[in-house]
Amino acid sequence: MTSIGSNYNKNTGTAAKSSLKLQNSFNSTLRSPVNSSSASSKSKPPALSSSSSSLRRSASKDHHNHHAGGVPGRVRVAVRLRPRNAEELIADADFADCVELQPELKRLKLRKNNWDTDTYEFDEVLTEFASQKRVYEVVAKPVVESVLDGYNGTVMAYGQTGTGKTYTLGRLGEEDTAARGIMVRAMEDILANPEADSVSVSYLQLYMETIQDLLDPGNDNITITEDPKTGDVSLPGTSLVEIRDQRSFLELLRVGEAHRFAANTKLNTESSRSHAILMVHVRRTVNGRDSFSSSQNGDVSHLVKNHKLATLRKSKLVVVDLAGSERIDKSGSDGHTLEEAKSINLSLSALGKCINALAENSHHIPVRDSKLTRLLRDSFGGTARTSLIITIGPSPQHRGETASTILFGQRAMKVENMLKIKEEFDYKSLSRKLDIQLDKLMAQSERQQKAFLDRIEQISKEAQEHIAEAEEKYADALAKERLKYQEEYLESMEKLEEQWLINQKRQESVATTSGRKDDCSNKSPTREVPGIEEVAELKKLLQNEKLMRQAAEDEVKNLRSQLAQSKRSEATANAEILKLNNALEDRMHEREKLDREIEMLQSQLLQLSFEADETRRKLDKESPGAGCGDLDPQGSQGVHPQLRDTGNGDKPSIAKLFEQVGLHKILSLLEADDADVRIHAVKVVANLAAEETNQEKIVEAGGLSSLLMLLESSDDETIHRVAAGAIANLAMNETNQELIMAQGGISLLSMTAANAEDPQTLRMVAGAIANLCGNGKLQMKLRGEGGIKALLGMVRCGHPDVLAQVARGIANFAKCESRASSQGTKSGRSLLIEDGALTWIVQNANNEASPIRRHNELALCHLAQLEVNAKDMISGGALWELVRISRDCSREDIRTLAQRTLTSSPSFLAELRRLRIDY
């Protein structure tokens, strides 16, 4: 349940002024006797120039000096004064600031009382009118420029809670660019530097002595690892995000801030409960010496080129937003918030011990007392350039905390660091270049070998095709000629046989005719003539056959010569193949030679690495240690100065007034005729009610009845506002809640809400009703007397603070209903739904204001746990918001609750299936 006491103090807390008026009414004076003393002056250590230009002019010297022990550099400290807030403008209107700044002299005066002051000097003194740009230029810019030169750097903010540390460091400046903090401006300068090779970021928080990754909430227990040789601290497993533009860095900061722990205390509504640590890693390559590689025979190989042995500078910027130091009696921390405050104060105490030991040149530095001091080991007494800004407030109420913060800064100015450039030869880059060159040579060799083998295969294939084609042609031609001669031979034989038959028939006919005639002898010479002609014709045919056969034999000889030529071509192709094989063997020998040269390059690279290791060891022996060394984990017995309460010059407080005047007398003034007396009396009662130890006394003395009577009888808006705030503080106690309800308090608060127009009055009334909504026993009575309708009626104001309290009250009521349903003491629809609150809850479940959105998301999740509400929530559009919450809500507990609620409700699951939403 959120406290309203701190909210009250912001707007209506004028306890100091009220107490003085009451003292006048009682004719008593509580002022301390006048003591005159002269102002003391605190000496300032010699300042170290912050000009980065001088560091750049001596860059070449620094490159050699850091090997011989580094460049000395004191921790620079600036002080920034926060302007008065609204509460201090009212409460301390009659009192001067507890500090006086003299920026032109870089001097600050702290008032011990009205007559005595202490004077302190710092490197820079920034007034409440100093712009964010001015703060960055004098505090952080020299450190950022040193980081770009290769040095480690630290910018840290220290001070009481609520004095502007997070505003100075982590302000994003989304609405007003002039309000950008140191983190955003530092990254702008780093990204604008063209010489940086890469920029990567880690964002952590130290919460309850546990290191957690703000960019990966699941990584919530990171260990610290120290290099035994160099003493450097590293955090393995931390998310390391490379940054390329300012937009991505701003988004990263938003993600980190959403996961950072914060709480509402009396001193600060958004008090950081963890130390935030932003680490920016910068890598930069600078040109180095030439490195030559040669082959084994002393000649420079055509494959080995001159390589620049580059130098890699690794620097780190650490921006530390320390959680605010606080006194428990002022912050009002209790429960888990009290444990958080104890952890914060212990870690800050350990840091103070280390700074004290370093300032006094002690042999023992207790850095192992806290993880915070281990993380800042290089920032104080190490090799980093460190700039500290301490933030203070002007209010005399917190003079003790302001004095403690100033003394912390004074001691830090005495700490000397030994700045060293973090650089090393970039053997990895050289190795990558050689590997790339070797890969190119091997790829080229493989391509040439593949092309050679492809050419051999192509030539062999072409030769085989030519041989096969020649053989095929020869076989076809031979078959055709054989077939042709056979056909011609058969035709010739047929003709000869026909001719022979014809001749036979003629001879037979001639013989028959010669036997019949008588003059055979005279005609016989004529019969012999045709036979001679036929023989001549046959001889002619035989001659033709011989010629044709001779032509066929010539053709066969020609084909045989072609076959011999083809065989000679094949022999030539085989000879060329043999030649190609020989060339391939030569290529293989060249490749073996390349392999030997590659092995030679690798051996030379190993030799270079060995020489670099030898050089580094020699430098380590020559360079004396400037860090904290091997430290004893046992801490010293000193007390952190922040925890001391000086008490010098404190003004009369409400507690003293309470002791001297008496509660009954103060309460009697609530009924005074003078309106001003009543107003101041109710303000004093409201401040007393903010302390839990006073609440029981106020109730027993009738203070609650008097406050309720004022709500009923008075017409003054200020009395209504302050009385409602006092009732809200009393309503944080369960017993008081029942008394308020029994005396008709909810009806009076509802009436006040209906008549009020002032947003602050409505916020106090809404806060009181919201506290009452958290009591499950009073829900029916609270609803019956119009409490819920009064909450919903105050929505008309539209002020974000009022809406936040309304949402908190609805969330408390829904939670009690859900608990009662699980215990079996309640059934039926939610009273909130019956009174029409669901529509407003759904409309504001995704409100831009984080408190409004968070409380409405919780209310929806609790309402959804009652199955009887499912139908109304589906028809009212709440199901869509539940799905969004289960997926997009920044709070893991709320997101998990929404997921469990959706999966356990049959009605919601059925509707999701109907809408075809995969869940």
Q: Is the pLDDT of residue 225 over 70?
A: yes
419 close to 70: Cβ distance less than 8 angstroms: yes
637 close to 399: Cβ distance less than 8 angstroms: no
Which DSSP state fits 395?
Answer: -
805 or 28, which is more confident?
A: 805
Question: CA quadruple 725, 726, 729, 731: dihedral positive or negative?
Answer: negative
**Six token digits for residue 473:** 């042609």
Please report the pLDDT score of residue 603 as a whole number. Answer: 55
Q: CA distances (Å), 803 to each of 58, 751, 752, 810, 839, in order? A: 59, 18, 17, 11, 14
Please report the pLDDT score of residue 661 as a whole number. Answer: 61
CA distance 201 to 253: 10
Mean pLDDT confidence for 480-484? 85
**268-299 residue pLDDT tens:** 666 777 899 999 999 988 875 444 333 334 44
φ, ψ of residue 316 to 5 degrees: the values are -140, 130
> 599: pLDDT confidence band, cut at 50, 70 and 90?
low
Please report the pLDDT score of residue 593 as a whole number. Answer: 81
Q: CA distances (Å), 437 to each of 309, 312, 431, 444, in order? A: 16, 21, 10, 11
CA distance 43 to 809: 55
Q: Is the pLDDT of residue 854 over 60?
A: yes
Q: Is the pLDDT of residue 387 over 50?
A: yes
Mean pLDDT confidence for 633-658? 38
The pLDDT mean for the chain works out to: 78
- 661 half-sphere exposure, CB direction, 13 A CA radius: 29
CA distance 815 to 820: 9
Q: Is the pLDDT of residue 619 over 70?
A: no
Please report the pLDDT score of residue 412 as a whole number. Answer: 94
* Residue of 224, 232, 204, 323 whose CA lies nearest to 274: 323
CA distance 181 to 173: 7
The strand pairing partners of 421, in sequence order, are: 151
Mean pLDDT confidence for 327-345? 76
Q: CA distances (Å), 460 to each of 466, 482, 564, 701, in order? A: 10, 33, 19, 117
Q: Is the pLDDT of residue 95 over 80?
A: no
Mean pLDDT confidence for 334-358? 87
Q: Is the pLDDT of residue 912 over 60?
A: yes
CA distance 529 to 649: 175
901 close to 864: Cβ distance less than 8 angstroms: yes
Mean pLDDT confidence for 592-619? 60
* Residue of 83, 639, 750 whose CA lies nearest to 346: 639
774 close to 820: Cβ distance less than 8 angstroms: no
Q: CA distances (Å), 480 to each of 395, 484, 550, 552, 559, in order? A: 125, 6, 16, 11, 12
Please report the pLDDT score of residue 299 as a whole number. Answer: 43
Q: Is the pLDDT of residue 23 over 70?
A: no
Beta-strand pair 307-321/423-425? antiparallel
Helix orientation angle between 734-742 and 703-713, rounded to the nearest 10 degrees: 40
520 or 115, which is more confident?
A: 115
What's the whole-model pTM score? 0.43
**736-787 residue pLDDT tens:** 888 888 888 888 888 888 888 888 989 999 999 998 898 888 888 888 888 8
> 300: pLDDT confidence band, cut at 50, 70 and 90?
very low
326 close to 258: Cβ distance less than 8 angstroms: no
Q: Is the pLDDT of residue 2 over 80?
A: no
Return the C-alpha torsion angle 228, 234, 237, 238, nearest 10: 180
Mean pLDDT confidence for 12-32? 34
Please report the pLDDT score of residue 780 as a whole number. Answer: 86
Please report the pLDDT score of residue 704 as a whole number. Answer: 84
**231-275 residue pLDDT tens:** 788 898 899 999 999 999 999 999 988 888 876 676 666 677 789
> 624: pLDDT confidence band, cut at 50, 70 and 90?
very low
* 133-147, 503-517, 781-795: range with lowest mean pLDDT: 503-517
Q: Residue 650: CB partners within 8 Å, gap ≥ 6?
A: 399, 400
Q: Is the pLDDT of residue 629 over 70?
A: no
Q: Is the pLDDT of residue 509 over 50?
A: yes
Please report the pLDDT score of residue 618 as a whole number. Answer: 65
**Six token digits for residue 160:** 């009481």
Among 111-115, 143-147, 266-270, 904-908, which range has the highest average pLDDT? 143-147
759-760-765 Cα angle (round to 5): 95
Please report the pLDDT score of residue 372 as a whole number. Answer: 92
Q: Is the pLDDT of residue 67 over 70?
A: no
Helix, strand counts (H, E) of the chain: 35, 20
> 891: pLDDT confidence band, cut at 50, 70 and 90?
confident
Among 9-18, 36-45, 902-911, which range has the highest average pLDDT? 902-911
Q: What is the DSSP string of 758-788?
A: -HHHHHHHHHHHHHHHT-GGGHHHHHHTTHH
Q: Is 737 helix (H, G, I), strand (E, B) or coil?
A: helix
Q: What is the DSSP string of 345-394?
A: HHHHHHHHHHHHHHHTT-S---GGG-HHHHHTTTTSSSSSEEEEEEEE--
Please report the pLDDT score of residue 637 as a whole number. Answer: 34
112 close to 648: Cβ distance less than 8 angstroms: yes
Q: Is 109 helix (H, G, I), strand (E, B) or coil?
A: strand
In terms of C-beta density within 10 A (0-12 exposed, 13-18 middle, 19 or more buried), how is residue 242 classed? exposed
Q: Is the pLDDT of residue 130 over 80?
A: yes
Report the percentage of the chain scoring pLDDT > 70.
78
376 close to 387: Cβ distance less than 8 angstroms: no
**Six token digits for residue 553:** 């034999």
Q: CA distances (Å), 237 to each of 220, 281, 616, in order? A: 10, 15, 28
The strand pairing partners of 388, in sequence order, are: 77, 156
Q: Is the pLDDT of residue 612 over 80?
A: no
Mean pLDDT confidence for 676-693? 81
69 close to 624: Cβ distance less than 8 angstroms: yes
Mean pLDDT confidence for 177-194? 93
Among 31-35, 452-456, 653-657, which range has the highest average pLDDT? 452-456
645 or 416, which is more confident?
A: 416
